[in-house]
A and B are shown apart, each in its own frame.
Chain A
Amino acid sequence: MAKAEIKNQVRRLRFENGEMTQQELADRSKCTRQTIVALEQGKYVPSLALAFRIARVFGVSIDEVFEYQE
């Protein structure tokens, strides 16, 4: 699978939010822990809906979590 062009700050945000576990983030954003792992490693680009759910869990806007890199 090709490397994602969309970078994310999920890992950093997790630790800034009380060292939230991957499982907790997965549960709160309604996805599996494996998806969070893949996201953090840049191996998966989430759907818009999931991106919004993750941003909402951290209480930030979507562009603070995900950024497009050309």
Chain B
Amino acid sequence: MTQLKKRALWSFLIWGAVLIAIVIIFFSGGGPTAFLEGESKNTLSRVCVSIGFIFYFSMLFLTRIRTGGEPLVKDERDELIAKRSYSIGFHTLLVYVFLVCSFLYGFLGFISNAIATLVLDARMSGHGES
């Protein structure tokens, strides 16, 4: 198995487990309100993320390319896949952030649209002059 695939699998397992743990903590016993008010739930979530990072960096260390004698575990195809996956991941995050912001602050878009319409209408309206 290539280094890229190995890391992707472990990364999926680690962060998937962290995500499941946080979702369980978030929705157990009261839901979002209880999560915001309950200090222990917050702490537990932070611990989960911290453990995730510890496992993640340990995995990066353990799957590093060792010098000498080891068969090739990474080549140009892996680099291409890595580039494309970083790009897809980044764009997915951007779309997610955009959608969240749109839901939260979408009304600002309506306001700016209304203002722009009024300004453009005023600029493009004649005043009876030829």
Contacts and interface: CB of A to CB of B under 8 A. Distances in A.
Interface string B1-40: 0100100000000000000000000000000000000000
A30 B77 contact: no
A26 B77 contact: no
Interface in A25-57: 26-27, 30-32, 34-35, 38, 44, 46-47, 49-50
A38 B75 contact: no
Interface in B72-130: 72-78
Contacts of A50: 75-76
A29 B91 CA distance: 34
B130 to A, nearest CB: 59
In terms of DSSP, what is the predominant structure of the interface of chain B? loop
Interface residues of B, number: 10
Interface residues of A, number: 13
B76 A46 contact: yes
B75 A35 contact: yes
Given A31-B76, A46-B77, A50-B75, 17 more contacts: A26-B72, A27-B71, A30-B75, A31-B75, A31-B77, A32-B2, A32-B73, A32-B74, A32-B75, A32-B77, A32-B78, A34-B5, A34-B77, A35-B77, A38-B77, A44-B77, A49-B76
